[in-house]
Chains A and B, each alone.
Chain A
Amino acid sequence: MSSLQAIQQQLLHAVLAADSIPPPVISGNAIASAGDRLAIYQHGYRVRLRDALKIEFGGLQCMAGKAFENLLDKYVAAHPSEHYNIRWYGAGLAAFLDYAHPWRNKPQLAEMARLDWAISTAFDAADESSKDIAELSAVPPEAWAGLRLSLQKNLQIVTCLFNAAAYRRAADRGDTRPHLRRFDTPRQILVWRDATTVHYRTLENDEWQVLVAALRGETFAALCELLAAHRGEAAAMPRMVALLQHWLAAGMVQGWTL
């Protein structure tokens, strides 16, 4: 008699291997052979994982087109699921596309997967309250220089050399597939959730640098200095005010410390 552990390991490996020869621990009968019975689990395993990925990677499906199915098959074959919740199965897809042949020769696919996944994880990230402009206005003038913003923890920045956001948008809206574009310089896509809605947009270069500095915990004075280096002294403060208003209105600011 095989131990329970041995039986489970044999069946697991038979399902993962998609081997047509069933392990001796399982039986067939007149209704169906052991092989036909095993095949149901083998098929179901792959379908479930592929379906889970299709839910999370709409942009990638749009970008990869007909190659999407093959891409999913290869990922499923290379990556057994390790998390109890199938919702997390796609966590390794972008990294897989970074290194696996032939996808590594198309870096736009990994980039697209990274953006899709950022949107997916923002969707059910932890709830955080957000501040509005009236609350920030109550900060005394003498405290502004040392103010450090706390931004929403669900906020992510994805670097894109290609127009991945356009593919995601097309997928979300059911629009026709856009043409692939490679940018001259990388762009930064901001992903965040405002209350229950996930947003993504391209950051201007100065906003990206200020946002990254704010995420590092730099003071308001340091953020203004950064902007001054980009836009000159005179334009720095109006730009900082405009960015702050924008971030507050978008629900990106969770709080601050003085």
Chain B
Amino acid sequence: MAMTSNERPHSLPYLGYGLGLRVEHYEALLADPGRVEWLEIVSENYMVQGGLPLIWLDRFRERFPLVMHGVSLSIGSTDPLDEDYLSRLQALAQRVEPAWVSDHLCWTGVQGVNLHDLMPLPYTEEALEHVVSRVKRVQDTLKRRILLENVSSYVTFADSQLTEWEFLGAVAERADCLILLDINNVHVSAMNHGFSSMDYLRGIPAERVQQFHLAGYEQGEQLIIDTHDAPVSNAVWDLYVEAVRHFGRVSTMIERDDNFPPLAELRAELEHARALAEPLLQAAA
């Protein structure tokens, strides 16, 4: 095993096994959380002025450790950082007091147009410098390290000079930020682009990996589509085991964004993650 949480110089609290909080499971989660130990909220869903969303948020905040996960920071865009977004994100972080704040290593729009998608970056020195400077700005504003998540991607760029994992690792090291490693996204991109998911795991700085996402995908005709609307696949469970072996104890959650099953099914998936990881972690302890 390469790393344990005690060896992580940048480590935030270890939260255990959690779920992404979605409206569809509000009632069930409060009624019977089972062994769900923490929740990840989608930041934008609560960047509102008032009403029910914030009432629910406060209820969950009383019961669970929360982390904030955004989709609109657009850290890689060549448009200026959206100051309004940043100030609202900061205000939400002050209200929630999350264990950490994360977003994606991507861009979501340019020229004032938002694609509402996690668009991949070309892995060039120019993009690296650009992202690093913006991560530093965001971290200075939020007064905390952020986590950046690897996205599933379908295109690559002719100008890329680095692998995705080299780029992600370099961003984390140079900007002094942390990594949210989506195991499903590693698998999806590996299959779509033909690289080794194990090379990916071995290629990123282990001490900066703070959180795992587990999710499901859809098999298209040629490419795998990251839908987050299906159970975690066997291939992703296998890769999760390798990730636990490699990174050690990392806060882990199931992220379902559509085609929501009853909460019990997600809790069962989470128990499966626990059952896979804990024996390995205990054997290594």
Q: A residues touching B (Cβ–Cβ < 8 Å)? A: 1-5, 7-9, 11-12, 15-16, 24-27, 29-32, 34, 36-38, 40-41, 44-45, 48-49, 52, 80-87, 123-128, 193, 196
List 17 other contacts, CB 8 Å, given A32-B223, A40-B225.
Answer: A1-B159, A4-B130, A7-B122, A7-B157, A27-B157, A45-B117, A80-B113, A81-B115, A82-B112, A82-B114, A84-B44, A84-B74, A123-B51, A124-B50, A127-B51, A128-B50, A196-B51
Pick 21 A–B contacts, CB within 8 A, sort by A: A8-B78, A15-B115, A25-B157, A26-B156, A27-B156, A29-B194, A31-B222, A31-B223, A32-B222, A36-B223, A37-B154, A40-B225, A41-B154, A52-B116, A81-B109, A81-B113, A84-B109, A124-B50, A124-B53, A125-B49, A196-B51
Q: From residue 217 to 235 of chain B, which have CB atoms closer than 8 A to chain A?
A: 220, 222-223, 225
Contact A48 B117 (CB under 8 A): yes
Q: How far is the CB of B272 from chain A (nearest CB, A)?
A: 29
Q: Which of B44, B107, B220 contacts A87 (CB 8 A)?
A: B44
Contact A85 B194 (CB under 8 A): no
Contact A41 B115 (CB under 8 A): yes
Contact B155 A124 (CB under 8 A): no
Please encode chain B, from 70 to 98, with 1 for each CB lying within 8 Å of some chain A CB and 0 for all others.
00101011100010010000000000000
Contact B124 A31 (CB under 8 A): no
A192 to B85, CA, bound (A): 27
Q: How far is the CB of A13 from chain B (nearest CB, A)?
A: 9
Enumerate chain A residues within 8 angstroms of B225, measured Cβ to Cβ. Answer: 40
Enumerate chain B residues within 8 angstroms of A44, measured Cβ to Cβ. Answer: 117
> Which 4 pairs show the lowest CB-CB distances between chains A and B?
A127-B50, A126-B49, A124-B48, A84-B72
Enumerate chain B residues within 8 angstroms of A48, measured Cβ to Cβ. Answer: 116-117
Complex: chain A residue closest to B158, CB-CB: A27
Enumerate chain A residues within 8 angstroms of B117, measured Cβ to Cβ. Answer: 15, 41, 44-45, 48
Number of A-B contacts (CB under 8 A): 135
Please encode chain B, from 145 to 186, with 1 for each CB lying within 8 Å of some chain A CB and 0 for all others.
000000000111111000000000000000000000000000
A25 to B157, CA, bound (A): 6
A82 to B158, CA, bound (A): 28
Complex: chain B residue closest to A26, CB-CB: B155
Enumerate chain A residues within 8 angstroms of B72, measured Cβ to Cβ. Answer: 84-85
A40 to B217, CA, bound (A): 14
Interface size on B, residues (CB 8 A): 49
Contact A25 B44 (CB under 8 A): no
- CB of B2 within 8 A of chain A? no
Complex: chain A residue closest to B223, CB-CB: A32
- CB of B127 within 8 A of chain A? yes
Enumerate chain A residues within 8 angstroms of B52, measured Cβ to Cβ. Answer: 123-124, 196
With known contacts A27-B156, A81-B116, A37–B223 Cβ distance under 8 A = yes
Contact A3 B154 (CB under 8 A): no
Enumerate chain B residues within 8 angstroms of A123, measured Cβ to Cβ. Answer: 51-52
Q: How far is the CB of B72 from chain A (nearest CB, A)?
A: 4
A82 to B48, CA, bound (A): 17
Contact A4 B51 (CB under 8 A): no
Enumerate chain B residues within 8 angstroms of A45, measured Cβ to Cβ. Answer: 115-117
Q: Which of A3, A9, A86, A87 contacts B126 (CB 8 A)?
A: A3
Enumerate chain A residues within 8 angstroms of B209, measured Cβ to Cβ. Answer: none
Contact B192 A31 (CB under 8 A): yes
- CB of B108 within 8 A of chain A? yes
Enumerate chain A residues within 8 angstroms of B191, measured Cβ to Cβ. Answer: 31
- CB of B110 within 8 A of chain A? yes
Q: How far is the CB of B60 from chain A (nearest CB, A)?
A: 16
Greatest chain A CB density within 10 A among B51, B85, B130, B222 is at B51
Q: How far is the CB of A89 from chain B (nearest CB, A)?
A: 8
Enumerate chain B residues within 8 angstroms of A31, measured Cβ to Cβ. Answer: 191-194, 222-223
With known contacts A4-B126, A7-B122, A124–B194 Cβ distance under 8 A = no
Enumerate chain A residues within 8 angstroms of B44, measured Cβ to Cβ. Answer: 84-85, 87
Q: How far is the CB of A183 from chain B (nearest CB, A)?
A: 31
Q: How far is the CB of A7 from chain B (nearest CB, A)?
A: 5
Contact A5 B54 (CB under 8 A): no
A146 to B53, CA, bound (A): 38
A15 to B78, CA, bound (A): 17
Complex: chain B residue closest to A51, CB-CB: B258
Contact A11 B119 (CB under 8 A): yes
Enumerate chain A residues within 8 angstroms of B158, measured Cβ to Cβ. Answer: 24-27
